[in-house]
């Protein structure tokens, strides 16, 4: 194994635990994952890129530079970050990189979902409501080299907002291809069958560093 430590550029403990669990599910052993807080990085990185790739690289590169400047040992270590969002075909990929603030700064999850419903109300068919959940992960190797992986789950936007059991903003309005209900209404067994965009991106990254 070339690398046995990952530093995840995130302050989201839930996302960190999700990535750890995904490695377990995929039988990846011998890799320790820590977060940026574990190396003392507390700054907020402004995501001002034009693509998922640009945003994920900026976050990973900023953390990498911090580690270099502070003499943090990066032997056998990959620093990585992700950026993700919902991309709707009829909206030219929007909300995309603006998924978190599509309805304006400070909008609630309910308001974000309602905004999507409003802009999509003229489109009736599943084909016209086609969309994808996308995650891009960028890793920075100890020598500064960049590696990139992308995961995508195709599907469509619902006509009505589903039950909001999920903590994830757009799960109640997204139906994966081959399914008939939004992700938020799926039971555990159904959810296991859904191609997971973050998992695909993560495993694509892992395959490049093993």
pLDDT in tens, 69-84: 999 999 999 999 999 9
Domain that residue 191 falls in: 5-209
Could you tell me the CA-to-CA distances from 73 to 10, 81, 101 in Å, in that order? 19, 18, 36
Point out which residues pair with 139 in neighbouring strands: 80, 147
Domain of residue 25, CATH code: 3.90.950.10
Phi-psi region of 77 (alpha: psi -120 to 50; beta: other; left: phi over 0): beta
Q: State the pLDDT at residue 1.
A: 60
Q: State the pLDDT at residue 92.
A: 96
pLDDT tens per residue, range 101-160: 888 888 898 999 999 999 999 999 999 999 999 999 999 999 999 999 999 999 999 999
Would the pLDDT of 192 be above 90?
A: no
Is residue 128 among the annotated active site residues?
no
User: Rounded to an integer, what distance in angstroms lies between the CA atom of residue 14 and that of residue 10?
Assistant: 10
Q: What is the mean pLDDT of residues 21-34?
A: 92
Would you say 24 and 203 are in contact if contact means Cβ atoms under 8 Å apart?
no
Closest CA relative to residue 137, chosen from 149, 146, 154: 149
Annotated catalytic residue: which of 32, 75, 82, 83?
Answer: 83
Q: State the pLDDT at residue 188.
A: 84
Q: What is the mean pLDDT of residues 33-52?
A: 95
Q: What is the mean pLDDT of residues 164-173?
A: 80
Q: What is the mean pLDDT of residues 181-190?
A: 90
Q: What is the mean pLDDT of residues 181-193?
A: 89
Q: State the pLDDT at residue 166.
A: 63
Domain count, the chain: 1
What's the mean pLDDT when you consider all of the chain? Answer: 93
Phi-psi region of 42 (alpha: psi -120 to 50; beta: other; left: phi over 0): alpha
């Amino acid at each position: 194994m070339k690398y046995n430590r990952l530093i995840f550029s995130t302050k989201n403990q839930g996302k960190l635990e999700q990535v750890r669990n995904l490695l377990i599910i995929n039988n990846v052993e011998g890799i320790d994952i820590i977060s940026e807080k574990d190396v003392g990085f507390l700054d907020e990185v402004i995501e001002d890129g034009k693509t998922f790739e640009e945003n994920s690289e900026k976050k990973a590169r900023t953390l990498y530079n911090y580690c270099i400047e502070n003499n943090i040992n990066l032997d056998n270590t990959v620093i990585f970050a992700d950026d993700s969002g919902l991309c709707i075909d009829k909206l030219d990929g929007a909300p995309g990189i603006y998924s978190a603030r599509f309805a304006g700064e400070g909008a609630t999850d309910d308001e974000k979902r309602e905004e999507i419903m409003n802009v999509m109300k003229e489109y009736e068919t599943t084909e016209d409501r086609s969309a994808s959940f996308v995650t891009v992960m960028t890793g920075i190797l100890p020598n500064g080299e960049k590696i990139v992986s992308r995961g995508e789950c195709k599907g469509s936007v619902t006509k009505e907002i589903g039950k909001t059991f999920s903590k994830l903003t757009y799960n109640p309005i997204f139906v994966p291809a081959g399914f008939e209900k939004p992700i938020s209404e799926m039971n555990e067994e159904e959810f296991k069958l859904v191609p997971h965009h973050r998992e695909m991106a993560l495993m694509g990254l892992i395959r490049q560093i093993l």
